[in-house]
Structure 1
């Protein structure tokens, strides 16, 4: 079972619970979180490190990744407050119960959706392909062109080897364009 902490409206998980989810040691999980730089210390929780629910998908340990989602549903709850009506009789104050409607965020039953996806393998293949294409561009003396293509899709100064699972769509586009441009370069060289 994963223990969750809701802090400022964001769901966080402890490192030890994530280690249990991925079936690895706490040391290995801490190391993976430190490499990705996604751990956070929450005020009031001492030295404990937490990972937000969004960043859990970035963790890849032993070729496994997990997407965890907690459904939070708003429920109206009735709160009873004792109100003093101001009348006193023999030193005792009269109170009556007043019903005040209040909205609270109540966590729905802990239905967590944990999915291990094939996106990890696709991401690894795309990253390797991008690295190989970059080497081929460098050997052909066209590294500047490869950098321009990757910057166009991934952002200025981005290194394709450092891509994460969040970057999979732009990575697909970048690899496809790198392959097309490299094919065109080969055709031009063959004609010469």
Structure 2
């Protein structure tokens, strides 16, 4: 069963609605004691990475998250929290991936935030992207991106710059897009995660 980490920085209605549609069981994680009942975790997040990290720290869950050895998926700001640093709020984050979260530079052809559907290209074989064709569209809403690092990039996207749409290290996975808002392939990804 999936434990959704509740730390006050994620609107989870779309995520829980998607899991309900898919028949994937889940519950909420408010404290470290809650974590024992789950075999995998999702860290959602919206808004400001620095503020989200402050809320996660205040929840007391940071040491437990860092110690996890079960499959864990960060979504959007939840992905950014797994990196070491964000330009948003000049913030130190969890540091589970030694890479940075940087701000997009806007230009005439690329508005910020990056909002809407974009193609995602899986670069490594991984069960998270099983049955998802390379170049499938996923839904993005973000002003900051994860710097591209081939060591950790599972899938990439281009928006004025090539960046990591998904990263992976050991039991930690993350996606910048919103699978819960990405139609059939987003639902496929959530189903795949539930089976890791």
What TM-score range do you get, normalising by the shorter chain? under 0.3
Q: TM-score, normalised by structure 2?
A: 0.21
Higher relative contact order (CA 8 A, sep 6+): 2
- Highest Rg: 1 or 2? 1
